[in-house]
Every structure is written in structure tokens, then in C-alpha cells.
Amino acid sequence: MPRILPHLDSNARHSPVVVKQLEARASDIQLRVADAITAFAGSMMFVYIHIIAFAVWMLVFEKSPWPTLTLVVSLEAIFLSTFVMIGQNRQAAFQQAKADHDYAQEESMLEENTALTRTIHALTQQVHETVCGPGSRATE
């Protein structure tokens, strides 16, 4: 049986966005059901079961051109494509949340680096004035 939710390695650091997303998925029954269905539908076991089921159906239960089988396969395709779109929408929302988080982190680091650069510049000027005397200009 495929894993429904990825398990995070407790020895590694994880993005807060990833942790929040997994917690939200684990806490909502609808998301857990959708994860279970998409995990199974995206597995080779799903393919093998369908190969066997369709072969048995065509050989045992219906005669050509298999009208009931065609209906069942069409309905299944409708539902599976819906689950694919649900998964794509959730992935897009996750990517947007992660991009927003990464942008906020980058902006915070930029502000911190700018402040550190200004502090270093001020300290360098103080050291220069102390060493060379007040009013002396450093060559640039």
C-alpha cells in the first residue's frame, strides 16, 4: 500500500511551510481521503488491478463492444481527472505559500545584511579615525 502522507525525517530541518502543509493535510478528513485516493491511483498496483479487472470483465461478464465497461471506465476517468485537478490546485497553493515564505525570508535576510554592512562601515570609520586621527580621509 502506498504511503498516504510523506513522513518527515526528524533529524533534518524542514521548511515551516512544508510542516504546516502536512499538518493541514493530516488534520482534514477530506484531504486525507483525497491523498489516499491519489496515492493509490498513482501507483502501479492501480494499473495491475485495472488490467486484471478489465480483462476479466471483457472475457467473462460482457460481450463485445462492452457498453457497461465503457460507461464504468468513462465515469472512473471523470473522477480520476477531478482528483488530478484537486492535486494540482493543492500543489499550486503549496508552491505559492512556499514562494511567499521564501520571499519573506530573503527580504528579512537582506534587511539584516544591510544593517550589518552599515554597522561594519560605521565601525570601520571609527577604527580609521582612531588609528589615523580625526579628519583624515581614507583612500577608496
Per-residue DSSP letters for the chain?
---SSPPPPTTS---HHHHHHHHHHHH-HHHHHHHHHHHHHTSHHHHHHHHHHHHHIIIII--TT-HHHHHHHHHHHHHHHHHHHHHHHHHHHHHHHHHHHHHHHHHHHHHHHHHHHHHHHHHHHHHHHHHH-TT-----
pLDDT at 48: 95
Half-sphere exposure of 35 toward its Cβ, with a 13 Å CA cutoff?
Answer: 18
Q: What is the pTM of this model?
A: 0.56
pLDDT at 5 over 70: no
Q: What is the pLDDT of residue 38?
A: 83
Residue 138 has pLDDT above 90, yes or no: no
Least confident stretch, 27-31, 36-40, 48-52: 27-31
The pLDDT confidence band at residue 136, using thresholds 50, 70 and 90, is: low
**Mean pLDDT, rounded, for 64-84:** 89
Mean pLDDT value of segment 107-130: 94
